[in-house]
Structure 1
Amino acid sequence: MPLVDNSRDRVPEPGTAPATTQPSATAKPTALESMGGPMGFVYSTVPVVIFVAANAFLPLPLTVSVALATGLALTVFRLTRGERFSSAVGSLVGIAITAGVVAWTGSAKDFFVIGIWAAFAGFLVTFCSAVARRPLTGIMWNLLHGGKHAWRDDRTVLRAHDVATLAAATVFGARFVVMQWLYLKDSTGWLAAAKIIMGAPLTALAAVVVIWAFRQSTKRLAKAG
């Protein structure tokens, strides 16, 4: 006769907790996942490639229209996949603004001008916060944890956030210097290449350092109460 497993029908002995199967805790997202995963890189790359490719063959007004149509198509695709409305539409708004700048100035290289100066602003904020010994990533971590931790009093935590904030400043600064140089040289094609290479890949590297600093802070401060 086949053996029957009656373990599910057994009554637990007094003083022992019943065995239950608990769902595993939700895993923390990786740096790549926090940026939208591989598709996030695609979403940020496709409009740039389409714009530069169209600009090589089409008049500028038609190129702007193609860029807007691409952004709209990507937005619809992302919404049908169930992505957050704010993320999908936010990307479309960004493309619309850059396309509007190009239409206003009549210069294809101005498709990148907002990103260039946004990188400069990011560099100023992150670098100045590190110099003032109030690194931005530490402020962000503290706000996310109730804003009640004296994180700057812990040398290890402060040093970790100095490193993370300077890593972000390096990415912003490098992006600004390279792209501004290419902008002044009217190299629209190389601007596109620089935006792709110095965009998501470098941001992911900086995100790894920031996540490391966050974990260091949580290990030393949040658990200590």
Structure 2
Amino acid sequence: MSNQNERHASNTRPARARSGMAALANAGENDEFSVIAAIGGVRGVVESMLPGLLFVVLFICTSDLRMTVIASAALAVVQVVVRLIQRQSVMGALGGLVAVGICLFWAWKSGEARNYYMYGFITNAAYIVLLLVSMAVRVPGLGFLVEFIRSLPTEHFKAWLSGWRSDRALYKAYARITWLWIGLFALRLIVQVPLYMTNQVGWLGTTRLVMGIPFWALAIWISYLIVADPLHRHRMLEKERESTSTEGGDAHPTAQ
């Protein structure tokens, strides 16, 4: 009896909220959507922002690039170590550590604090190019990513691609959110590059923080609102096709 209760509890336990694009892949499946979970949870947000916040504050206060780099690097390492000690997932923290390490390395080697932000410029520009190419070939990049996470096509790639691209409402939704993210990445560059060129490290660091996690949260929330309904209808159509296919397969041997 206890085993049955345990199984029932596991079946009724709420699914763990997904983060990043996986949260959009889950859109329309149920009513559970958390912006905080989608951007990595409270702890993930704090951990991702702290090294950058420490960098800009410490550099403004001391103008000592060497001390600023060492302190920011030490903080990023401590965050990973704490997660290891607590036996928690370190993948997100490790990814953040690598990104921070690249930024700090460029600032250190160049001797200019503003180069801490160069890696962000490159990644934002790369995302813009990739997403523009995806729109040019009529395979919206955000839609491709969401559908890949959602259904993981291991075979019949063309059928998988055609399956969601032929749904006009879903395709339009994916196109809209792709343009939304292109706009986000472009806006970051438009605002931040002039600050970089004029070496305004304080303002550059501030805008980087403001246009980082907060803008990410806003973009993923708007993306959810755009995608949820058409993706829900698409899921229902998929289930109907699967049901029809299953019934047809069962009926064939019986008729013989």
Distance 2:13 2:48 in 1: 33
CA contact (8 A) 1:75 1:91 kept: no
Q: Which residue number corresponds to residue 203 of structure 1?
A: 216
Q: Distance in 2 between matches of 1:182 and 1:84?
A: 36
Contact 1:108 1:188 in 2 (8 A): yes
1:36 match: 40
Which 5+ residue runs of structure 1 have no aligned equivalent?
Answer: 1-7, 9-19
Change (3 A) 1:129 1:209: farther
- The 3-state SS of whatever aligns with 1:53 is helix
How far the C-alpha of 1:92 sits from its partner, in A, is 1.5
In structure 2, what residue type is equivalent to 1:137? L
SS in 2 for 1:26: coil
Q: Is the 8 A contact 1:102 1:108 kept in 2?
A: yes
Mapped partners of 2:17, 2:68: distance in 1? 41
Give distance in 2, aligned partners of 1:213 and 1:150: 19
Is the 8 Å Cα contact of residues 170 and 231 (structure 2) preserved in structure 1? Answer: no
Letter in 1 for 2:189: F
Equivalent residue runs for 1:11-90 within 5 Å: 23-26=12-15, 28-29=17-18, 30-56=34-60, 57-90=62-95
| 1:84-121 alpha-carbon deviations (Å, 9 max, x no partner) | 12212221222211111111111000011101121111
The corresponding residue for 2:144 is 139
Deviates more, 1:136-145 or 1:93-102: 136-145
Q: TM-score, normalised by structure 1?
A: 0.82
Q: In structure 1, what residue type is equivalent to 2:172?
A: R
More helix by proportion, 1 or 2?
A: 2
Distance 1:131 1:216 in 2: 25
Structure 2 unaligned runs (5+)? 2-7, 19-33, 154-159, 239-256
- 1:172 and 2:168 equivalent? no
Q: Larger Rg: 1 or 2?
A: 1
Cα distance in 2 for residues equivalent to 1:38 and 1:193: 20
Partner of 2:96: 91
SS class of match (1:134)? coil
**Which residue is equivalent to 1:15?**
none
Q: What fraction of aligned residue pairs are identical, expressed as a percent?
A: 24
* Superposition TM-score, scaled by structure 2 size: 0.73
Give aligned pairs, total: 207
Q: Distance in 1 between matches of 2:82 and 2:144?
A: 36
Residues of 2 paired with 1:141 and 1:99: CA distance? 32
Aligned-residue RMSD, C-alpha? 2.2
Amino acid at match of 2:197: L
The AA in structure 2 aligned to 1:124 is: V
